[in-house]
Amino acid sequence: MFFPPDAFERKADKLTREAQAKEICRTCPVKRPCLDYAISIKEQNGIWGGLNEVERKDLVVRAS
């Protein structure tokens, strides 16, 4: 659920999958280090530290 499937994914399915992954991230004790790592390696896929790729890009742009 943290990464998109290999096949086509409908938007509604993507939103559901991401919400489930983000719920797990919400209480994860390594949420911030996970997010920091994804940003540091410029990860372009998946949920990391509770954020998807678009949210991570926005975070980086806002921090610049």
Q: What's the CA gap between 41 and 47, in Å, rounded?
A: 14
Q: CA–CA separation, 21 vs 13, rounded Å?
A: 12
Instruction: List the chain domain ranges.
Output: 11-63
Q: Which two tokens stand for residue 20?
A: 């489930």
End-to-end, the C-alpha distance of the chain in Å comes to: 30
Residue type, 48: W
For residue range 7-64, list pLDDT tens digits in order: 999 999 999 999 999 999 999 999 999 999 999 999 999 999 999 999 999 999 999 8
- pTM score > 0.95 for this model? no
The answer to whether 9 and 45 are in contact (CB under 8 A) is: no
